[in-house]
Structure 1
C-alpha cells in the first residue's frame, strides 16, 4: 500500500511568486541539498560497471523544502517494502537546460551522461578502423547487444531485431504482407498519427480500408473488445493496437482481447512505443504476432534505438523497411544491415538498460507513477475537472494527458507560445479537443515542475482560443 501527499507551505514575506520563479534559472540553484554518493551494485550484474553520483533512496518518511521555490513544501509518506528513488535524484546526470521546465520525456527522451559517454566510446572505436568495425566485427557486436536487451523485454534474441524507431518497425510489418482489394486493418482512434498514415498508404494502394473504432476516451476491457470485435469483417487481416497511447496517455487493456482476435485468424500488432522502461514488458507471453517499442524514450537509450519483435511463425515473412544486402537471408540478416549507418545507439542500449536497473528498475518505474499521480491531481484540480483517480494515489502510467476544453484551431501557435515561456509539454489535438500531456520522469523531474505549467494554463487556453 502506498500514499503520496503534497502540501503548500505557508507563504512568507519576500517570496517569489510561482509565475515569476518559472522564468528564472531552475537548476542553477540546487533543487534540494544533495551529497554525492556512489552505488555499488552486484558484481555479477550487467550494471556493475556503473558508478552513479547524487542518488538517494527515500526513507519511510521524508520532509524537505525546495530551496529555489520556498513556497512549495513537499511531504511524502510511503508504506512499501521497496522504496523508490526520491524525485529529481539524478538531475545532475542529465544535460537538460537549467532554465527549462521539461515535462515531455515521452516524445524523445533524455540521455543520461553515462549513456552519452558509452555512445561516444562506440563512435570513437568505430572511427579507429571503420572497415574492420562494420565489415567484420559488426555481426558479432549487434548479436551481443541483442542478447543483452532481449531479456529485459521478456523474450529471446531469436525473436528480436533492432530498428531505428517504432515507426520503422510498423513500416516493416505492413510492407511485409501482400494486401488485396477489400482487405481491412483495424485500429482505434487513439493511434499514433504516423502509424495511421502508414496504414492508410498501404490500404489505399491495395484498394483496402483502414477502420478506426472509438472505444471511448477512457477505454475499458469491455468497451475496447466490443468496439473492435463489432468492426471485424471477413476480410479483416490485422489489428494494430497501442499498448500505451501517445495522444491520450492511456494504457489500453489489450491482453484479454488478443486471444479473441487470434482465434478469428486476425494478426495482432502492438505499438509499444512508450512501453519499455515505463511498464513491464513480457513479449513471449503476450501472444501477439508483432510488437514494436522504442528504447530512446523511457529506457533513455540514444535516439535511433528501438526493437521489433516477431513471433517465430513470421520470421520467414518479415522484411526490413529498407531492402539491402541481407534481403532473403533470414530475420536478423534482414534488419542488422540496411546500409551504412551509425550503429552506436543500438550498441549503447545495454548500457542504458543497465543504468535503468541501477536506478532501481521496477522501483524507478514506481517512482515515475507516484510523481505522475501528483501531476495528475494538480492538473485536474487546476482545470476544475473531476479526477478520474483517488487523489494522492500513484497514476497508472508515467504520463498524464488532460483535455483543456478548447478548440484545436490554434494548437501550433499555442505550442510556440508555451515554448517561449520555457515550458516543454506537448499540446495535442484529439477528437476535436485540445489535450495537454505531461511526463513524470522521476530521475530529473520534481513535484513542483507541474506548477510552472499550471501557472500558464489560463493564458495558454486563451491563446488556444484566439491564437494570440
Structure 2
C-alpha cells in the first residue's frame, strides 16, 4: 500500500486491499461530510427529511448526471443497483409471449430476479452461455444466435461483468437485440467512476448501477437511467411513487438515510481530483502490471485485452478451489474477490485503486503462485 493512502482512506496499514469493487470504499473527506450532514439532519429532522429533501436530492442527481455525461432528466439516484434492478424488472411488461435473455455470467441476484419475474408472468427465460475467456464479439454474437431463436423482448447484460470482469461489447449487443425486436437493459454496477456511460450509443433502454463502488461516496448509492418510452416505478410504493418526475419518484422510499446520496457531489469532486492528477491513470497501469505478473505464473485472464476494464481484472486459476485461494489470501491479509465462474472454475478478481502499488501486486502474485504450486 502506498504510504500516503492513510491520508485519503481509513484502511488498516497492514492490509492489501484489491476488493473495493465489491463494496466500495469511502474516503475520509466524504466520511467527514457525511458526519456533518447527519448532525445537520438531527438538528431538525422535520425540515431536513421533509420539505427540503426532494430539492437537495434533485441537485445531487443533476450533479451526478453531469459527471456521468447523461441527461439528468432521465436519471435518478436510488438505494443501490439491486433496488434499481428490482424496480426495472417489476415495471417492464411481461406476459406468456415474452422472451427474456440473460447471459450466464450476469450477477446472480439479477439472474434470479428475472427468473422470478418470468415465472410469475409465464414468460420464457433463456440463459445464454458466454465463452470465457471472451476473445471476440463475433464469438459472443454467434452464441446468442445459436442459443436464442426468434424474437426477444429484453436482453439483460452488464457494462462490466462482476465476477469475470469483462467489459462487454454493448453497442454490438444493443444492435443484436434491436434486430430481434427487443430492448437492452444494462447493469452498470461497475460503470460510474470506472468507464464512461453511453446509453444512447449502446442502444440501451435502461441502465442501472451504483456510485459507491468506484466513486469514494458513502454506501449505498444507486442510480437508474431510463429512456423516455419506458415508465419505471420504485419497487416499494411510497409517498412519491406517483410522481411524474423520475428523480422525485425515487426520492422517498419511506424513512431512510439520505446522507450517502447527499454526499455524492463531494465524492465526485474528490474523484475528479484523482483523475486530473493522473492517479486513476496510474491505477490502470497497475492493473496491466497485474495482468502480466499473474499470467507469468499461469493465471488466465478472462478476456482478450480489448474486453478488459481499466481497473478491474479477473483471472481463471486452474487446478485449485475457491475456498483454498480465499484461505491463502485471508491468511496473508490480502483482500480480493475469489469465487466460482459459470462452469465452476476458480476466479480471482483484482480492483486497483489509488492506494495500491507494485508491492501489492508482488504480494498477491507470490501468494497465488504458492497456491498454484502446491
**Shared fold (TM-score greater than 0.5)?**
yes
Higher relative contact order (CA 8 A, sep 6+): 2
2:174–2:184 contact (8 Å) kept in structure 1: yes
1:101 maps to what in 2? 16
The SS at the match of 2:326 is: helix
If the length of structure 1 is used for normalisation, what is the TM-score? 0.74
Runs of 4 or more, structure 1, over 6 Å off, are: 386-390
1:381–1:387 contact (8 Å) kept in structure 2: no
1:304 maps to what in 2? 220
Mapping of 1:386-425 within 5 angstroms? 396-406=309-319, 408=321, 411-412=322-323, 414-425=325-336
2:100–2:126 contact (8 Å) kept in structure 1: yes
2:99 maps to what in 1? 184
Change in 2 beyond 3 A, CA 1:258/1:438: same
Segments of 5+ residues of structure 1 without an aligned counterpart are 1-26, 33-88, 464-468
- 1:436 and 2:351 correspond: no
1:186–1:238 contact (8 Å) kept in structure 2: yes
- 1:450 and 2:365 correspond: no
Equivalent residue pairs, number = 371
- 1:274 and 2:190 correspond: yes
Task: Tell me the distance in 2 between the aligned counterparts of 1:122 and 1:436.
Answer: 38
Segments of 5+ residues of structure 2 without an aligned counterpart are none
2:239 maps to what in 1? 325
Shift of 1:183: 2.5
Task: Tell me the distance in 1 between the aligned counterparts of 2:120 and 2:228.
Answer: 28
Shift of 1:179: 2.0
The SS at the match of 1:313 is: coil
Greater mean alpha carbon deviation, residues 173-182 or residues 266-275: 173-182
Shift of 1:326: 1.5
1:120 maps to what in 2? 35
2:8–2:28 contact (8 Å) kept in structure 1: yes
What RMSD over aligned residues (CA atoms) do the two structures have, in Å?
Answer: 2.5
Mapping of 1:49-448 within 5 angstroms? 90-217=5-132, 218-234=134-150, 236-314=152-230, 317-330=231-244, 331-361=246-276, 363-383=278-298, 396-406=309-319, 408=321, 411-412=322-323, 414-430=325-341, 431-441=343-353, 443-448=354-359
The SS at the match of 1:359 is: helix
Shift of 1:265: 2.4
Bigger Rg over Cα? 1
Q: Where is the helix percentage greater, Structure 1 or Structure 2?
A: 2
